[in-house]
Amino acid sequence: MEDLVESILDYIRADYTDYAIMINGEWGSGKTYFWNNKIRNKIDSLQLNGKHYTTIYMSLYGISNLEDISKKIFIETTQLMDKNMRKYMNATGQQSIPEYAKTGLDMANLFGVTQNGDKVDYSKFFSTDDKVLCFDDLERANVDVIDILGYINNFVEHDHIKTIIICNEKELSTKLKSSNLEMKTFIATYILDKEGDLSKTDKPMVEKIQDKIEYVFDKANDYERIKEKLIGETFEYQPEFNYIINGILMRYENNPDLIRFLRENTNYIISTFNKSGTRNLRILKHALNDFKKVYEMVNKYYPNTNYRILQTMLIFTIAISFEIKAGKITKDKFINIADNEEYKSILVSSRVLMDNRQFYIKEFDNNYYYNFKVEYRFFKFIEIYVRTRIFDMKVFKKNMEVIINTIDTEKLPGYKRLLIEEYWKISDDQFPGVIEEVLEDVKAGKVKLLDTVKIFIYFTYFIKKGLIDYDIKTIRGIFFNGMNVAALTSDYSENAEQEIEQIIIGEKTQEINEILNHFYMINGALKDKMYSQKADEIFKCIPMKMEMFYERFDKECMDIPIFKYYDPYQMFQRISCASNEDIVSIKEKLLDRAEKHTKEIEPEMKNIKQLKQVIDDYIRGKDIGIKIVMLKEFSRDLGTILEKYK
């Protein structure tokens, strides 16, 4: 790095130059940090032949026209003419004027306000041999790069001002090729058609259009041509990440506990950064800032948290930040993972059963936790915070309570260990005991239904590998009966089929199919039980608690066949006792629901038909009144709904 600094200073020291130099490096790799902390001060302290050099730095980020560059140069230059401003900047250690302040100065100049009544010293503008211009973020300007380089060339070729350009040429190349792509494609297609080449089949159409675009609109060649004229030397910036990361940590010096923890774990920070495969220090800064929030919340609410857990949180925060923010994955890769237990279940199924359908999660774990052995390594509250910028206190406290109670996996029930821990981590002398414990828990119905199915699949694998000496028929009987016992206290398992499919590899054996069929039968019965309870709770609100009925019905029943689970005669009694206004409101809700969720509510049509029949029987022969008219209309609209299913 010092060689690069010296090479840049050699350019500044040269008596005569008619070229600029370029510092090329990836986004977020610390090029601007390098300029501010390694180059700028050294240039500002140079004195050669009686000249004292002054740097003028400009970011081209978002610049939309060349006039904006001129304004920036003017404002940066005028700071040299105002003695009070220079005095203030020296006293406060300011190296450049903040953008907000520049806006005020720009307006002051526009309205003719002079600073301290000083007259403009035009000699400052005509003196060019003591200034060094630095243009940063060339690839992020909203002006044509060719125009910007031509503009800069005026300073370099005609005024011989020392000029440094900082950019990411890789992104610059992409930008040159992708600008106005729709217009370029249209014109290229038009030219090919006029030349009679569009209908020829000698090469793929996409390739033809691409070749024509490059031939007609080859901005890259224009860039290379002007770069060859303007840029005398290009330096590849290869940052010293250890040095820069130590500089980043300095921002936490006012938090003694946090900075001590970060210093102690600098090796993990650097290691995780390197494993990310990027060179983006900007993402690392954001990740460490996110960890600051995590660290403070953990210490505030759970001050005795295990040190190893805090280390894992640090690694996880940095790792998931790079995975999401560097564009490696779509954000939904982690959304459906509810907790560490589910994360580890995915890993176990992918490793034990050699399932590659969860390849990304396995690679993530292998990469970031390689040689870092820890049982708890997925934190849902951190994943949510990085992905959404919301620190969910409810999820945070739920995660932390689980962490406190499950750090020591040997204290977990045997079936939990099989679900979240690779079986080969269990010692040979412990393994038979774990198997016996699992079977006893299954027999007693202590294992949740869905987990029972998962464990049975693992047991079939163990029998196949000769790890346990049991007949598959015997095991099947134990699990079959255990599921019947567990059904008495279990809840309905949503998305069960999807979870089961994730761990089944290859052909399903007869025993697995029998267990699955039994599970789906029990789970279906639990679903009916759950919806029956929900229907009873919600429909009891008619007619006395209508506000509560509307609120719960809208939230919970619009896309489920809730009428399937409630007796039509009781439903009629409740509706007939409701006010006429509520009868109309309920009817309109049912019509809207049938329109929006036709397929989902089809199973309830048998009860809807019965409800219509009960209403028709009741109003037949009754004297006309408003209530009877409302019920007639209710029955008519139920008929409209039933028509959708003929």
Query: What is residue 566's predicted lDDT score, i.e. its pLDDT?
Result: 94
Confidence (pLDDT) at 182: 66
Share of the chain above pLDDT 70, in %: 81
Fold designation for 2-176? Rossmann fold (3.40.50)
Listing DSSP states for 286-300 in one string gives: HHHHHHHHHHHHHHH
**Predicted local distance difference test score (pLDDT) of residue 440:** 93
What span, in angstroms and rounded, lies between the C-alpha atoms of 403 and 306? 9
What is the structure's pLDDT at 160? 83
Alpha helix positions (H), 195-280: 205-216, 219-230, 241-249, 256-264, 266-275
| 562 DSSP assignment | G
Domain boundaries, the chain: 2-176, 242-407, 425-528, 540-643
Can you tell me the distance from the alpha carbon of 168 to that of 146, in angstroms, rounded to the nearest whole number?
15
Per-residue model confidence as pLDDT tens digits over 118-176:
544 444 444 566 789 899 988 888 888 888 888 888 888 877 888 999 988 877 766 66
CB-based contacts of 178: which residues, under 8 Å, 6+ apart? Answer: none
Q: What is the pLDDT of residue 125?
A: 47
Query: Can you give the pLDDT at residue 240?
Result: 67
* pLDDT score at 120: 47
Contact 58, 135 (CB under 8 A): yes
pLDDT at 122: 43
**What residues have CB less than 8 Å from 642, skipping those under 6 apart?**
605, 608, 609, 612
Q: How far apart are the first and last CA of the chain?
A: 78
Cα torsion through 567, 569, 570, 572, rounded to 10: 120
Residue 516's CB: how many other CB atoms inside 10 A?
18
For the chain, residues with pLDDT lower than 50 are 80-81, 99-100, 102-104, 111, 113, 115, 119-126
Residues 6+ apart with CB under 8 A from 126: none
Q: What is the pLDDT of residues 255-277, one digit of tens each?
A: 999 999 998 898 889 889 988 88
Which pLDDT does position 499 carry in this prediction?
75
